Structure 1
Amino acid sequence: MEMTGAKILMECLLEQGVDLVFGYPGGTILNVYDELYHYRDRITHILTAHEQGASHAADGYARSTGKVGVCLATSGPGATNLTTGIATAYMDSSPVVFITCNVTQNLIGRDAFQEVDITGIAMPITKCTYLVRDVNNLADTVREAFAIARSGRPGPVLIDIVKNVTAEKAEYEPLPREEHIHSGRLANLIRRARTSSLKMPEPNQEDVNKLVEMIAQSKKPMLICGGGVVRSRSHEEFREFARRIDAPVAITLMGAGGIAGRDPLATGMIGMHGSKASNMACDGCDLLIAVGCRFSDRVALKPATFARQAKIVHIDIDRAEINKNVETDHHIIGNAKQVLALLNQKVPQYDHSEWKEYVFSFPTETAYDENPNHLTPKQILHTIARLCPDDTIVSTDVGQHQMWAIQHFHFDYPGQLLTSGGFGTMGFGLGAAIGAKLGNPDKTVIHIAGDGCFRMNSNELSTEEFYKTPVITFVFNNHRLGMVRQWQELIYENRFSQTTTERGPDFVKLADANGLKGRRVTTVEELEAAIQEALEEQKKGLGYVVDCTIEETELVRPMVNGGTHITEFLVN
C-alpha cells in the first residue's frame, strides 16, 4: 500500500516493537510529529525539556530494559544537541536509534536555516549513520538501523531523513520483525549493512581449550567483570564460571551487576578508585581473565606494569579491543554469554582458598570516620540501600558521587546501575533515570548526583513531574566540583581554581518550583525521614529531591594517580 514517508516510519517503528520514544519537535521533523499524532494510542512520546535529556532518557531506557531506545529531534541545533547523548551511548555500547530530519533535498549543502551535516558529525560516535534521500529506501533503512543497533556489540545508529522524504509517498510492504527474521529478509539487509557491526563471531574451540589449560596451570587466578557481561546479560554464566575456577572477581564501572556486589568472590571496583583488594589481587595474580573489559586508562592506569606477574586473557565480542590498550597472552573473540557457556562445560571445580585468603586480607570497601553530626558518602548510600527495595535501579551522573555509588551500593543484576562510564557525561543521570522508570514502571528508580551535575540536568524535573515518572534524586552537595577539586588538592597543591559552587539554586525550592517535594538533610536520621517521605510520594507518581549536605573535604578513596602503577595509592 502507498504511504507517506512519515507514516512508513511509524509503521517501521511498530514492526520493531517500539511503543515508547523520546524527543523534541522542530520545523524539519514536523511531518513525522504530525503522523505521530495519529499513532499516539500505539506509540507514546515523551517530550523532554532538552534534546540532550531525550538522548539520555532513550539510553537509560535501553540499558535498563535491554531493548533498543528511540530518540527523535529536528535538524540543526536540535540534532547537534543529541551529540553528547550519542557519544555517551557509543562509549558504553548502548543500543539507541536516533532519528533526525534535515532540510529538504534541494537545500542540502546550501547553509539553509537549521541545516547541519549531522551524519558527518555523528559518524565517529555511532555504529552507522544514514542520510535518507529517497522515500523508497526508508523502510529498509529503518529495519537495517535497528538490526545494527542491537546486533554484535550494541551501540547507537543515526538516521537523518530529508524533510521532503517524510511527505513523499512510496509503496510499503509490512514486514513484522518476527516474520522477517525467519523469512530470510533480514539476512539480505544484513549483507548490505556493515558486516563488522552485525556479525556475532563464533568462539574458536581451540581458543577455549587453551584457556581451559591455562586455568588448570594457574595457582592465583583472577577475573575482571566488564561491561560486556552486563550488555550480553551473561551474568549467570559469569557467576558460574567464577565459582568453578574459585577466583576473586574485580568489577569495572560498567561491569557493576555482572556479579552481585556482595558476592563472596567480589573484591570491588578495580583501577584508579579501585579497592585495595582488587588492585593488590591484580598485581599478584598469575592469570588474569578479563571478560568484556576495554582496559581503559581508568583500569589499566599504567599498561606496561598492569598485571605484571600474570598471563592476561581477554574475552570480548569486538576484535578491535584486543591488544588495543593492554598486550594479552591469549584472547577469545565472541559473545560473553556463549564463550562462558563453553568454558563452563569444560572447566572442573577448583579450590584456591589460600590465594583468596591473601586477596581478602585487603579491604574491599573504604572505611570512613563515621560522625553523627555530619553525613558521609558511605552513610548515605548504605541508608538508601537499607530503606529502598533490593531491586532499585540507580542512575548516576559523573564525579565523586559516581565512584562512591559503585564502591558502597553493591549492584546485583545487569541494568541496575546506569552510569556514563566511558564518556563521563555530567548531566546524564536524571534523563537516564526517567527513561529507566518508564521502562520499568514497577521498580523504584533513584538518581544520584553531585551539585555540579544536577545543575546540568535539573531542567528534566519538569519532565519527571509532568509524566508522573517518580524518580528520587539524591544530591551529594559539597558546594564544590568535587572530583576536580580532589585532583586540585592531591596533585595541584591546593590551587582550587574555579571549583567552588557556593551559589544557587536552592535545590529544595527548585523541586517545589517543578511541583515536587524536597528536603535538605544533614544527618542519617533526617535522611531516613526524607527517604520514607520520598517513597510515599512515589506511590502518588511524584518524584522527590533529597539535598544531602556533605563535607567539602570528603575524598574518593582509595585513589591511584593516572599513569602510575595500580598499587601506588595516592590516598588510602
Structure 2
Amino acid sequence: MKMNGSQILIQALIDQGVDTIFGYPGGSVLNIYDALYERSDDIHHIVTSHEQGAAHAADGYARSTGKTGVCLATSGPGATNLVTGIATAYMDSIPVVAITGNVPNDLLGRDSFQEVNIAGITMPITKHNFIVQNVEDLAYVVRKAFVIANSGRKGPVLIDIPKDVTAALTEYVKLPRYRIRKLPKVDDAKFEEALEAIRQAKRPMIYAGGGVISSNATRELLKFSKHMDIPVCCSMMGLSSVPYDYDLYLGMIGMHGTPVSNYATLNTDLIIAIGARFSDRVAGNRKEFGKDAKIIHFDIDASEISKNVATDISIVGDARYILKKMIARMPETKHKEWTDTLKAFKDKKDLPKPRGDDKVDPRDLALTLHNIVGEDAIIATDVGQHQMIMAQYYQFSRPRSFISSCGLGTMGYGMGAAIGAKVANPHRPVILVSGDGSFHMNMNEMATAVSEQLPIVILIFNNTVLGMVRQWQTLFYDHRYSNTSIERKTDYVKLAEAFGGKGLRIKTHQDIEPVMKEALSSKVPCIVDCWIDKDDCVYPIIPPGKSGKDIILYGN
C-alpha cells in the first residue's frame, strides 16, 4: 500500500506501540500533523505550550512507565527548543524518541528559513540520530530508533525528517515491533571473583543507582539484600528502588544523603555498586570515596567502569540478570554486627526533624504529603532545595514514583514531566514539587495541564529566593547574595485562576494538611503557594569536592 512519508511515520510509530506524542506544530511538520489528524483515534497528540515542555513530558511519560516517550517539533527554533529536554533524558538514560521536521532536502545547508543542523547540535546528547533523506528509509529508521533507545543503557534518539520526505510516496511494508538487542554476556571469571569478594566481606553495602529501576531489577535488589543481609543506599536516580521502610535501607547517599549512608561509605569493606555512575554528587572526593573498601561495579555500560572511581571488580551486564544469578549462587548470609552498628548510628544521627513551630517547614510538607496520598502517588520535582527535601523525606515505596532531573539538573523540568506522568498514569495522583525559581521557567505548561484536564497538584516551595544557590552563598561565599534574592511578586493563586486552574495558599504549619487535602481533591490543576523561610537550608550537606568525613549535619 502506498503512503506518503507522514503517513508512514505515524503508522510506524503505532506499530512500535506508541499511543501518545507530545509536540508543537510548525511549517516543516505540517504534513505530519495532517497525518496525525487522520489517525487521531489511534494516537493521542498533546500540544504543549513550548517544545521544551514536550521533551520533558515525553521524558516524564517514559520514567513513570518504562515505555519510550515521543516528542515532535518543527525545524529551526522548534528543534532547538527540544535540546534541553533531550540532554536531560540523555544524562539520566531515559528512552525518548525525538522527531523533528526540517526544510526540504534541496534547501538544506543554504541558511534557509527555520533551518538548523539539529543532528549536529544533538550529536553529543543522543545515543544516535538520523537524517532521513529518502522516504524508503523512514519506516526502518523509526524501528531502529526504538531499538537503540531501549537497548543496553537506554537514552534518547533523534529522527530529523526534511519536509519533502514527509510528502513523498512509497510502498509501506509493516515491520515488527522493535526487539531489544541481546544483553552482553557476563564474564564468568569476573562473576566468580565478585562472588568470592561478597563471601569474604564483613561490612558490605549496596549502592543502587538508576540502572536498577531501568532494568526492572527492584525486586531482585530487595531479594539480594535480604538474602545476603546487606544494607542498601541509593543515589537520587535510584530512589524508589527500595521501600523506605525496609529495615536495611540507609536512604540516599552523597552530598545531601543521610548521615548513616555516608557513615557506611566511610566504614564499609565492600561497596557493591549496581547501575550507578559515581557522580560528583555521590563521590565528591573521588580519591577518598570508599578508599578503604573493595569496590564491585555492575553496569550495562562498559564506559562507566572506573570512569569516576576506580573499581576492583566489574561486571558489564543487565542488573536484573546479574542479581538473579547472584541470588542463585550465594548461600544466605548474616552481617549482624555491621547492621547493628549502622542501626545504632542512625538512632543517634538521623536527618534533621521538622522544627515543630508555627512556620511552614518544608520537611513537614514532604511528610504530610506522603501521609495523605500514600504509596500510589507519583512525585515529580524541579531542581533545588525542594528536590533535595523530597529526596530526603518523602517515603517512596514503589519504583518509578520519583521523577526528577538528576544528572543535568534542569530547572523547569518538572511541569512538563508531571504532565507526561499524568497522561501515562491517569488514575494515580501526580504531584509536582517545585521552587518559585524553577516554576517561573516553564510555568506556561500550566496552560497545557488545564487544556488537557489533568488534575496535577503543584506545590511551590516559595521562599522568594533561588534557594539552593543562595544556600551555597551562605555556606561558601560568606553570605554574598549576588542575584539570588529575586523577590518575585507573582501571585500564584491568581496565576492559577488566570490559567483556568485552582489556586491555594499555605502560610502556617496549621494550613498544611487541610490545604493539601483540598488541593488533592481538585478536579483541575491546582497550584499551592507554600510560604517557606528563605533561610531554611537543606542539611546534611557534604561540601563540593569533599568526602563524608566533612559532612555538615546541621546549620547554625
Bucket of the pairwise TM-score, normalised by the shorter protein:
over 0.9
CA deviation profile, 1:470-526 (whole Å, cap 9, x unmatched)? 111111111110000000000000000000121231111111111111111122331
- Residue type at the aligned position of 1:228: G
C-alpha distance in 2 between matches for 1:20 and 1:136: 25
User: Which residue is 2:545 aligned to?
Assistant: 563
1:350 aligns with 2:328: no
User: Which residue is 1:458 aligned to?
Assistant: 443
- Residue type at the aligned position of 1:281: A
Alignment of 1:91-106 (within 5 A): 91-106=91-106
Specify every segment of 5 or more residues in structure 2 that has no aligned partner in the other structure, as ranges: none
C-alpha distance in 2 between matches for 1:554 and 1:338: 43
Task: State the shift of 1:371 in Å.
Answer: 3.0
User: Which residue is 1:446 aligned to?
Assistant: 431
1:230 aligns with 2:236: no
User: Which residue is 1:66 aligned to?
Assistant: 66
Query: Measured at CA, do residues 356 and 297 of structure 1 come closer, stay the same or move farther in structure 2, by a change above 3 Å?
Result: same
C-alpha distance in 1 between matches for 2:282 and 2:498: 41
User: Which residue is 2:526 aligned to?
Assistant: 544
User: Which residue is 2:321 aligned to?
Assistant: 338
Secondary structure at the counterpart of residue 559 of structure 1: coil
CA deviation profile, 1:165-199 (whole Å, cap 9, x unmatched)? 0001111111242xx75xxxxxxxx9xxxxxxx55
User: Which residue is 1:274 aligned to?
Assistant: 257
* Contact 2:358 2:510 (8 Å CA) reproduced: no
C-alpha distance in 2 between matches for 1:365 and 1:7: 58
User: Which residue is 2:34 aligned to?
Assistant: 34
CA deviation profile, 1:248-282 (whole Å, cap 9, x unmatched)? 21110000011112211111111111111000100
C-alpha distance in 1 between matches for 2:371 and 2:390: 14
C-alpha distance in 2 between matches for 1:290 and 1:40: 45
Query: Measured at CA, do residues 254 and 369 of structure 1 come closer, stay the same or move farther in structure 2, by a change above 3 Å?
Result: closer
Alignment of 1:325-404 (within 5 A): 325-363=308-346, 365-368=350-353, 370-404=355-389
Task: State the shift of 1:368 in Å.
Answer: 3.2
* Contact 2:436 2:460 (8 Å CA) reproduced: yes
* Contact 1:32 1:166 (8 Å CA) reproduced: yes
C-alpha distance in 1 between matches for 2:167 and 2:202: 67
Task: State the shift of 1:407 in Å.
Answer: 0.3
Alignment of 1:189-228 (within 5 A): 198=181, 200-228=183-211
* Contact 2:412 2:441 (8 Å CA) reproduced: yes
- Residue type at the aligned position of 1:124: P
* Contact 2:60 2:418 (8 Å CA) reproduced: yes
1:297 aligns with 2:280: yes
Task: State the shift of 1:317 in Å.
Answer: 0.3
1:531 aligns with 2:523: no
User: Which residue is 1:186 aligned to?
Assistant: none
* Contact 1:227 1:255 (8 Å CA) reproduced: yes
Specify every segment of 5 or more residues in structure 1 that has no aligned partner in the other structure, as ranges: 182-189, 191-197
- Residue type at the aligned position of 2:542: V
User: Which residue is 1:22 aligned to?
Assistant: 22
1:115 aligns with 2:115: yes
* Contact 1:57 1:435 (8 Å CA) reproduced: yes
* Contact 2:24 2:73 (8 Å CA) reproduced: yes
Secondary structure at the counterpart of residue 389 of structure 1: helix
User: Which residue is 2:45 aligned to?
Assistant: 45
* Contact 2:354 2:363 (8 Å CA) reproduced: no
Task: State the shift of 1:365 in Å.
Answer: 4.3
1:161 aligns with 2:161: yes
TM-score, with structure 1 as normaliser: 0.95
Secondary structure at the counterpart of residue 380 of structure 1: helix
- Residue type at the aligned position of 1:347: M
Secondary structure at the counterpart of residue 567 of structure 1: helix
TM-score, with structure 2 as normaliser: 0.98
Task: State the shift of 1:206 in Å.
Answer: 2.4
C-alpha distance in 2 between matches for 1:288 and 1:371: 37
User: Which residue is 1:185 aligned to?
Assistant: none
Query: Measured at CA, do residues 45 and 156 of structure 1 come closer, stay the same or move farther in structure 2, by a change above 3 Å?
Result: same
* Contact 2:375 2:396 (8 Å CA) reproduced: no
Secondary structure at the counterpart of residue 406 of structure 1: helix
Task: State the shift of 1:205 in Å.
Answer: 2.5
1:508 aligns with 2:493: yes
Deviates more, 1:519-528 or 1:120-129: 519-528
Deviates more, 1:499-508 or 1:365-374: 365-374
Secondary structure at the counterpart of residue 552 of structure 2: strand
Identity score, percent: 49
CA deviation profile, 1:350-387 (whole Å, cap 9, x unmatched)? 11111112222233742235233101121110110001
C-alpha distance in 1 between matches for 2:96 and 2:489: 34
C-alpha distance in 2 between matches for 1:434 and 1:500: 29
Secondary structure at the counterpart of residue 205 of structure 2: strand
- Residue type at the aligned position of 1:128: H
C-alpha distance in 1 between matches for 2:502 and 2:354: 31
C-alpha distance in 2 between matches for 1:353 and 1:166: 64
Task: State the shift of 1:309 in Å.
Answer: 1.2
Deviates more, 1:367-376 or 1:274-283: 367-376
* Contact 2:387 2:433 (8 Å CA) reproduced: yes
Secondary structure at the counterpart of residue 344 of structure 2: coil
Task: State the shift of 1:217 in Å.
Answer: 0.6
* Contact 1:314 1:322 (8 Å CA) reproduced: yes
* Contact 1:383 1:524 (8 Å CA) reproduced: no
Secondary structure at the counterpart of residue 361 of structure 1: helix
- Residue type at the aligned position of 1:277: V
Picking from 396, 416, 426, the partner of 2:411 is 426
Secondary structure at the counterpart of residue 549 of structure 2: coil
- Residue type at the aligned position of 1:415: R
C-alpha distance in 1 between matches for 2:256 and 2:373: 26
- Residue type at the aligned position of 1:129: N
C-alpha distance in 2 between matches for 1:7 and 1:24: 18
* Contact 1:366 1:557 (8 Å CA) reproduced: yes
CA RMSD, Structure 1 to Structure 2 (Å): 1.2
CA deviation profile, 1:425-470 (whole Å, cap 9, x unmatched)? 0001111011001101110000000110011121111111111111
Secondary structure at the counterpart of residue 87 of structure 2: helix
- Residue type at the aligned position of 1:231: S
Task: State the shift of 1:390 in Å.
Answer: 1.6
1:136 aligns with 2:132: no
- Residue type at the aligned position of 1:170: T
Secondary structure at the counterpart of residue 533 of structure 2: coil
- Residue type at the aligned position of 1:242: S
CA deviation profile, 1:117-174 (whole Å, cap 9, x unmatched)? 0000001000000001101111100110011111111100000001100001111111
C-alpha distance in 2 between matches for 1:354 and 1:425: 42
Picking from 459, 464, 477, the partner of 1:474 is 459
CA deviation profile, 1:263-308 (whole Å, cap 9, x unmatched)? 1111111111111100010010001000000000000111111112
C-alpha distance in 2 between matches for 1:472 and 1:203: 44
* Contact 2:403 2:417 (8 Å CA) reproduced: yes
* Contact 1:24 1:51 (8 Å CA) reproduced: yes
* Contact 2:361 2:509 (8 Å CA) reproduced: no
Task: State the shift of 1:244 in Å.
Answer: 1.6
1:241 aligns with 2:221: no
Secondary structure at the counterpart of residue 292 of structure 2: coil
- Residue type at the aligned position of 1:77: P
Alignment of 1:174-189 (within 5 A): 174-177=174-177
Query: Measured at CA, do residues 435 and 209 of structure 1 come closer, stay the same or move farther in structure 2, by a change above 3 Å?
Result: same
User: Which residue is 2:422 aligned to?
Assistant: 437
